[in-house]
Structure 1
Amino acid sequence: MTPLTIRPAVMPDDLDTFNSFSYVLNAEIAKDLAAGRRRPEWLWLALRGDQVTARAAWWSRPGDEHPLVMDILDVADGHFADGVSLVRAALPTPAPEFTRFVAPDWQRSGDDTWMRVLEECGAKLFVERLRLHWEPGTPIAEPSGRLAFRAPRDADELIEMMTLVLDGSLDAHSRDDLTRMSPRECAEEQYRSELERYSTPRDWWRVAELPGGEPVGFVIPAHNGYNPIIAYIAVLPGHRGRGLVDDILAEGVRVLAGQGVPRIRAATDVGNVPMAAAFARAGFRTFERQVDLTW
């Protein structure tokens, strides 16, 4: 058998070689490299002669020193061991979370070589998420009159509400963060590492209030560099169960639709049944499922 070679990809010379596997993210690789979301040393190949037997890649937000997530792993049929060798050789320490996009009706099967390789390397299933899509022309609910909306007064007001909504959260990542940090620390970390870094206008963000001025929740419409998104939506604990999420989500959609966007994307955990139902009522459809594994 031809000896196995494991090495980082050389860009742009190896771009076609790296993309010899078919996957939804292939079209984004070159743009991600140009934007600083990927680095050549974060893209790896396993080869036997000229045959690519496995590939792996990591992603970050622009400017990050270390990769945030491993989001590509493909293994050729009959080369399970090469996939394991590649992951063991290339995996950073500490190992970032792994994410893969699969069909909306995905169920695990023995054909998921990528998952078996990761588990052989010590990864475990963490959560499945629904990836959601809204298209222009989909009806947007008219304001009910129950709520008024305004931009957050400042970062501290939003962080305080983010802290409160962690009480009873059904989001797996938030619940996991709470095993290591206080609610305030979790909220500050998410604000600084994610929300603060969106380049889209802060005046898109909305706090929802009752007529008397009491805040009941918020929504963060944004653009993540790929798509317009509902980045965060929440109802404060004391106001849940009253259908207010529908009003808040409709406002977020209204903000983005007013910008003439070609689509809106969102995501929620499969286990967050109330939020998934709210997105469905708002006209979002599930176009993919996301599978996350951790070490």
Structure 2
Amino acid sequence: MIFRPILPQELDAVLSYIQPDSSTMLSADVVRSRLADGEYRPEWIWVAEAGPGRAPLLLAIWWGMPGDAYPRSLDGLFSTAASSVLTGPDARTFPPSQPSGDPRIATTAALLTAAHQVFAADGLTALPEYHLFLPPSWRDQPETAAAVKWRREASKAAGLRVVTERLRFEWTAEGPVPSVSERLVFTPEPDDEVFVDLLRRTLPGSLDAATTREALLVGPEEQARNDVAFYRHDMLGERSWWRIARMSTGQVVGFGIPSRNSNTSVVGYLGVLPEFRGRGFVAEILAEITRVLATEAKETVVRADTDLTNHPMIAAFELLGYNEIARRLVLSAG
């Protein structure tokens, strides 16, 4: 079995193996677009082959920001028609399958492990997460559930053992722009250090699994600085959109960071200080973020993700007319 990144001249041939799949929103056209933007690269697209010159059995595509030296996440795993060889007469020459009996699992795990080793040799210190983009009711769709199952088992065998499910919400201009808060005053704040401090102070008791997990690894201060740097330099939103939320008395309640990625405007981040939680302020900050993007940035679509277990955030989205449009299953090393 051969595991390797593709060569640039192989791109068209390899992309022909991308077929509609319920575990991802990727298509050949999306891959070409992101290659042009620098979010995908030939060295981040890997194949598994039974031998030199053989058709790919599996295809893995990693994603990163245009300026990144290493990929940040795995966006898609595809099993090609040629993967039927895994159950054919030569199946004994490949890694044994997992107890589920699906022969793709061990081979996919080996492919991911080989790529991880190369990324690590180049300097990557943490395994890239794997993001599966799914319909909201994916568990009730047998084809989608089966597509998730073998990918999840293979990822687990390759070291991605922690699973976080996130809901994707969307607000569109067809709905009303949320009204201005009567309890809070929102003001711009040009000093990044103010947001570092607020991010650090909102970490205790946070229901955001990724933020909490990262803070345990690097510490609250570094986590806060990393988040501010990410929204300041990696995301495409305007810095002038960022807001501090205060009571009329001047007490700081929290903050909101409206932003934008390469596709659409997003609710980048919002936080409520622990002493003000449970009083409905999360919905008011979300309303301000939405208002900034809809009226100041003239955006017609706003998207946001939150963890399945973050019930206050989910309630705020539903209250303000956001609709759930997808789920994102995040597989990570923890």
- Equivalent position SS for 2:316: helix
- Compared CA separation, residues 274 and 12, structure 1 to 2 (3 A): farther
8 Å Cα contact 2:129-2:331 kept in structure 1: yes
- Equivalent position SS for 1:88: helix
Per the TM alignment, residue 272 of structure 1 is displaced from its structure 2 partner at its CA by 0.6
Per the TM alignment, residue 18 of structure 1 is displaced from its structure 2 partner at its CA by 2.6
Per the TM alignment, residue 12 of structure 1 is displaced from its structure 2 partner at its CA by 6.0
Match of 1:255 in 2: 292
Asked if 1:36 is matched to 2:33, the reply is: no
**Which of 109, 122, 131 is 2:159 aligned to?**
122
Give the 5 Å matches for 1:90-129.
Answer: 90-91=115-116, 92-93=119-120, 94-107=126-139, 109-111=145-147, 112-129=149-166
**Equivalents in 1 of 2:165, 2:232: separation in Å?**
22
Match of 1:73 in 2: 77
8 Å Cα contact 2:130-2:331 kept in structure 1: yes
Asked if 1:7 is matched to 2:4, the reply is: yes
- Equivalent position SS for 2:151: helix
**Which of 65, 68, 78 is 1:64 aligned to?**
68
Per the TM alignment, residue 171 of structure 1 is displaced from its structure 2 partner at its CA by 0.8
Match of 1:54 in 2: 58
Asked if 1:266 is matched to 2:270, the reply is: no
- Compared CA separation, residues 57 and 34, structure 1 to 2 (3 A): same
- Compared CA separation, residues 15 and 269, structure 1 to 2 (3 A): farther
Q: Deviations over 1:146-180 (max 9, x none)?
A: 11111124100111111111011011112212222
- Shifted more, 279-288 versus 48-57: the winner is 48-57
Highest RCO, 1 vs 2 (Cα 8 Å, sep ≥ 6): 1
**Equivalents in 2 of 1:21, 1:125: separation in Å?**
27
8 Å Cα contact 1:75-1:83 kept in structure 2: no
- Shifted more, 125-134 versus 9-18: the winner is 9-18
- Equivalent position SS for 2:223: helix
- Equivalent position SS for 2:317: helix
Q: Deviations over 1:218-261 (max 9, x none)?
A: 11111111110010011111111111112111111111111332
State the Cα RMSD in Å. 2.1
- Compared CA separation, residues 273 and 74, structure 1 to 2 (3 A): same
Return the letter of the residue paired with 2:112: V
- Shifted more, 88-97 versus 242-251: the winner is 88-97
Q: Deviations over 1:44-81 (max 9, x none)?
A: 12245664321111111121111111221122465404
Match of 1:202 in 2: 239
Per the TM alignment, residue 5 of structure 1 is displaced from its structure 2 partner at its CA by 4.3
8 Å Cα contact 2:110-2:158 kept in structure 1: no
Q: Deviations over 1:67-122 (max 9, x none)?
A: 11122112246540442332232223342121111111223845422112212323
- Equivalent position SS for 1:188: helix
- Compared CA separation, residues 15 and 289, structure 1 to 2 (3 A): farther
- Shifted more, 217-226 versus 50-59: the winner is 50-59
How many residue pairs match? The answer is 292
Per the TM alignment, residue 210 of structure 1 is displaced from its structure 2 partner at its CA by 0.9
In the alignment, structure 1 segments of 5+ residues that lack a partner are none
Percentage identity across paired residues of the two chains: 32
**Equivalents in 1 of 2:162, 2:45: separation in Å?**
23
**Which of 161, 180, 183 is 2:198 aligned to?**
161
Return the letter of the residue paired with 1:21: Q
8 Å Cα contact 1:9-1:18 kept in structure 2: no
Per the TM alignment, residue 277 of structure 1 is displaced from its structure 2 partner at its CA by 1.0
TM-score, normalised via structure 2 length: 0.81
**Equivalents in 1 of 2:294, 2:230: separation in Å?**
26
- Equivalent position SS for 1:58: strand
8 Å Cα contact 1:53-1:82 kept in structure 2: no
TM-score, normalised via structure 1 length: 0.91
Asked if 1:286 is matched to 2:318, the reply is: no
**Which of 83, 101, 112 is 2:108 aligned to?**
83
- Equivalent position SS for 2:162: strand
In the alignment, structure 2 segments of 5+ residues that lack a partner are 87-103, 121-125
